[in-house]
Amino acid sequence: MIYYFAYGSNMNSKRMLERVGEFSIIGRGVLNDFRLAFNKKALGKVGEVYANVMPSLGDYVEGIVYQFDEIHKLDKYEGYPNHYDRKLMTISIGGEPTEAWVYFAQEDRIAEGLMPSKEYLEHLLQGKEYLSEAYFQSLLYVKINLNQNEDEKIRESFIQYYLHQFKLDLSHFFSLIPDESKFHDDIKNKRIYTIQYEQLTPKKGNLGFLSNESKHNFLIALYYCVLIDMVCYTYFKSHYEKFYRLTMYPKLIGNCLSACNYHLNPKSIFHAVYGPNFSEKNTILIKRLILLQEFFKIEVFNFTVNKVNGRVPIVIGIGGNNTAEVIKSFGKFDLSKVVAILSVTPYYNKPAQEGFYQHYIALADAAPKPILLYNVPGRTGRNMTAETTLRLSAHKNIAGIKEAGPEMAQTIAILKDRPSDFLVVSGDDEIVMAQIACGMDGVISVAANAFPKQFTDMINAAMSGDFAGAKKINDGLVESYTHMYAENNPAGIKGFMFEQGLIQNELRLPLVPASDALQQKIKSCLKKMSA
């Protein structure tokens, strides 16, 4: 009796039964210092490949270990000796080293850059019972070979639809929804256009519940949800409430976003759909989706520049947790229209202090305008210390910082040792008066959006040394500060501005307007302030 390590289509035990007859399954085997590769040219199938294993230090391949009487029973199915060679290799079974036969593709039968068929990959997925969860998930993310012409046709029509037809089609869609529709209660019609709700209910932690064909639909549906938010708020405000009420949109976008961990950038979406090993180099669509997303950012920037029309200096916010991508973003805006770039500390991945330093040095070296640091650990998850800020202040293209750090002591330390031309402004309305007393140069404010005169008068009084006058004004604003940050920012400030008749009380998901209880407190606060 011999042991055989199956890592490819023979992980389908039904296929093994047809090929060798009786066998026993020993369990999961691991071939260390090798990687799984789909690069063995499929005989008689142009453009398709089968599985192979390639030496790769530190990697591993999982498979099923079979026991049966003679290895030669598999030879004709594995193309030995003309397509595959076989060797006795040491594999691990439950941590124990064991010799087993392993087939390797011959060098002249290897072709890189191709993909397996859906049917072939399904054979590998049949081995789920004997594979680790992580390894099985990696198989789900293997890209399969599709009809390229048809695939490109779908991709092109998708792009054209969103670039040219979206608003017209959306308007028509609204016109078809009756005022008293029960669309949202009809299980058979829970869909936005042709995207079925049942396909878009993610299982916790992965998208493995989707077939490879459905992943493309999922991607389209997610972007549909993101774009519909933008378009509705911009062009269809009067229809938005009806659409929200009469369709499955709220549930749909919630499901889509949760599957992508609430990251809306195209790369995160593609990684949620295709897995962490997805390569944007092989996909046209991701590049076009990035451009589509950036289109909206640029539109907002251009609108702002035109509206301001040179009346006051403009600072643009360009930040992120990928240094190279932030630098690329500098070239996407007409930065001749701004005086500085405000760039938030990298979020989510929680860099070390040296990481912060190197990140900002790289930005400053590349930026065509001065960089303003922005430290806001309550939002990003990691504080940039006073020591790091002072190191960065020596760079000729780093002009200052918006400091919203955790404590006054940090602010005082920065103010004590900063260069004379290094700007330090506050990001905390609640304590800015005290910070100005310590030497701070001003504030980038939230509260000033609702109370521009009062807040500006308070700041000017403090900057001139009239702290008694500043305190009097600030005392009248203290309650509003509490309500502004009670739930989320900007829900609080938008609640104030809505009650003042300045804006509509609209936010994009995952943000939501202030709760009814908080909105009542905001109303009451405004009444007191106007009394």
Active site residue 73: no
Q: What interhelical angle do 491-499 and 516-530 show, nearest 10? A: 50
How far is residue 488's CA from residue 93's CA, in Å, rounded to a whole number?
A: 52
Cα–Cα distance, 175 to 59 (Å, whole number) = 56
Q: Which of 50, 66, 240, 374 is catalytic?
A: 374
**Cα separation, 175 vs 171, whole angstroms:** 6
DSSP one-letter code for 164:
I
Cα 252 to Cα 225, 257, 268: the distances in Å are 8, 9, 18
Residues 6 or more apart in contact with residue 148 via CB below 8 angstroms: none
Q: For residue 67, which amino acid is it?
A: Q
Cis peptide before 81 (omega within 30 of 0): yes
For residues 469 and 456, give the distance between their C-alpha atoms in angstroms, rounded to a whole number: 12
Quick check: 38 and 49 in contact, CB under 8 A? yes
Per annotation, catalytic residue among 41, 143, 402, 494: 402
| Identity of the residue numbered 213 | E
41 included as an active-site residue: no
How far is 243 from 227, CA to CA, in rounded Å?
14
Q: Which residues of 171-187 are buried (b: 16+ CB within 10 A; e: fewer)?
A: eebbeeeeeeeeeeeee
Strand, coil or helix: 195:
strand
Catalytic center residues: 374, 402
